[in-house]
Amino acid sequence: MYMFKYVVKRLLLALLTLFIILSLCFIFIKLLPLPEVTGSEEYRLLVEMRRRAMGYYEPILVQLFLFWKRILTGFDWGYGEQMYQVQTVTSIIGEKLPATIMVNLYSLLVSIPIGLLLGIFAAVKKNKWQDHTISTLVMVFISVPSFVYAFFVQYLLCAKLNWFPLLANTTGSYFEPAMVYSLIPAILSLAFGTIAGLTRYTRAELSEVLTCDYMLLARTKGLTRRQATIRHALRNAMVVIFPMILGQFMSIMSGSLVIESIFSIPGIGALYVESIGRLDYNFFMAISAFYTAIGLGANLIIDLSYGFIDPRIRMGAR
């Protein structure tokens, strides 16, 4: 019951936060001047008329009211004025989201087991040459921006060795072998950073847990080192690591501007930046809402996950 109340409370708070953030975004964006219209006299007049018809010259609070009314009554976020003209914002986001999700998902499926295993291995072999090697590579992949190794992957695997096509094939089903194959360079480029992050995190957490007194107790009661590590150390370390993995899952929808650009993946990564650059307010608002909702949802799920992973943690209990 405590949990249920807690979840309801958090959900309501999340909705309130979403409302406040979006209202503020809307007001601030409307304080900016509208994009300049260039072109013939007829064209400028026409655009003026269109803006008037869409209520762009109503007082801001009236516009805000209409904005929420349209969303709450018909989930109408408007359509593109500066980009993807005439098409609804939601349809464009809906079209571009799957590419982003799938590429990131494949990347995570590769990254998580490798990252965890490398982290565990490094922790177990702490301060030995294996640990030093892994830690050095981790530092390299964390320090170097993703676009650097993305370019390197493309150059080496696609251009020089010719193992993969230069451009990702994104016109069929995302489960077709040909498409998955063409996505491998992008998946690898995305995976390097995540693997490095997970490895470092797992190693750090596990190293700490492995030195705890209860690990000594576990060994003294007769468990082997491997048994103690997996049953006790890893489980405790996962309290911290698992929320990170969940966070990664939520963030897969945010996309990667650089990787998507380099491998020509029609994802959502560039959409937010483009909407700001081209002053398309409808897109900006819809994508802001999307990311805000993801952020709030991710926080909620991560908080709740603590209780599931470690039963000692109870949410909402007095």
According to CB under 8 A, which residues from 175 to 204 bind other proteins?
A: 175, 179
Cβ 47 to other proteins shortest distance, Å: 8
312: DSSP letter: T
CB closer to other proteins, 38 vs 220: 38
Angle CA(204)–CA(205)–CA(207) in degrees, nearest 5? 65
Q: Please check whether residue 91 is in contact with residue 58, taking contact to mean a CB–CB distance below 8 angstroms.
A: no
- Residues 15-74 contacting other proteins, CB under 8 A: 30-34, 36-37, 39-50, 52-55, 57-60, 66, 70
Collapse the DSSP code of 112 into the 3-class scheme (helix H, G, I; strand E, B; otherwise coil) and give the result. Answer: helix
Residues belonging to the chain:
318
182: DSSP letter: H
One residue of 173, 213, 221, 312 binding other proteins per CB under 8 A: 173
CA-CA distance, 251 to 257, in Å (whole number)?
13
Burial class (CB in 10 A: 0-12, 13-18, 19+), 310: middle
Handedness of CA 246, 251, 253, 259 (dihedral sign): negative
CA-CA distance, 313 to 138, in Å (whole number)?
31
CA-CA distance, 127 to 149, in Å (whole number)?
28
Cα-Cα-Cα-Cα torsion 250, 253, 259, 261, nearest 10 degrees, comes to -160
CB closer to other proteins, 226 vs 318: 226
Using rule CB under 8 A, residue 95 touches other proteins: yes
Q: Please check whether residue 120 is in contact with residue 199, taking contact to mean a CB–CB distance below 8 angstroms.
A: no
One residue of 15, 24, 139, 166 binding other proteins per CB under 8 A: 166
Query: What angle do the packed helices 281-309 and 269-277 form, to 10 degrees?
Result: 140
164: DSSP letter: S
Which window, 12-20, 123-131, 220-228, 284-292, contacts other proteins (CB under 8 A)? 220-228
CB closer to other proteins, 15 vs 109: 109
CB closer to other proteins, 22 vs 183: 183
Which window, 77-85, 125-133, 200-208, 293-301, contacts other proteins (CB under 8 A)? 77-85
DSSP string, 18-55: HHHHHHHHHHHHHHSPPPPP-S-HHHHHHHHHHHHHTT
Cβ 58 to other proteins shortest distance, Å: 8
Cβ 80 to other proteins shortest distance, Å: 7
How many residues bind other proteins, per CB under 8 A? 80
Using rule CB under 8 A, residue 174 touches other proteins: yes
Which window, 7-15, 18-26, 88-96, 193-201, contacts other proteins (CB under 8 A)? 88-96
CA-CA distance, 247 to 157, in Å (whole number)?
30
- Residues 226-265 contacting other proteins, CB under 8 A: 226-227, 230-231, 234, 245, 249, 260-262, 264-265
One residue of 6, 22, 26, 84 binding other proteins per CB under 8 A: 84
Which window, 124-132, 162-170, 192-200, 203-211, contacts other proteins (CB under 8 A)? 162-170
Cβ 252 to other proteins shortest distance, Å: 9
* Binding letters toward other proteins, positions 268-307, x by CB under 8 A: ----------------------------------------
- Residues 101-120 contacting other proteins, CB under 8 A: 101-102, 105-106, 108-109, 112-113, 116
Using rule CB under 8 A, residue 88 touches other proteins: yes
